Amino acid sequence: MEEGMITSVEPGIYRPGKWGMRIENLVLIDWSPEYLYRELIPDESERRWFLANVCTMDWVIR
């Protein structure tokens, strides 16, 4: 997969002969650390500090 691609994640459970259920989600592939940490660190200024001082781009695999 490459950054910018959209794919679907479709986990499901099926009971043979009874019923089945599947949840479909579209997912954007984005390796940006700012995007990845936005839920964990909702405050933008704290997130920018974290990314500048703790998280470096060395860990991003291209």
Instruction: Single out the residue of 27, 39, 33 nearest to residue 54, CA to CA.
Output: 33
pLDDT band at 35 (very low <50, low <70, confident <90, very high): confident
User: Whole-angstrom Cα distance, residue 39 to residue 34?
Assistant: 10
DSSP character at residue 60: -
Q: Rg (Cα) of the chain, in Å, rounded?
A: 18
- Strand, helix or coil at 12? strand
Is the predicted pLDDT of residue 60 greater than 60, yes or no? no
pLDDT band at 56 (very low <50, low <70, confident <90, very high): low
pLDDT band at 54 (very low <50, low <70, confident <90, very high): confident
User: Whole-angstrom Cα distance, residue 11 to residue 24?
Assistant: 7
Q: Give the mean model confidence (pLDDT) for residues 39-50.
A: 89
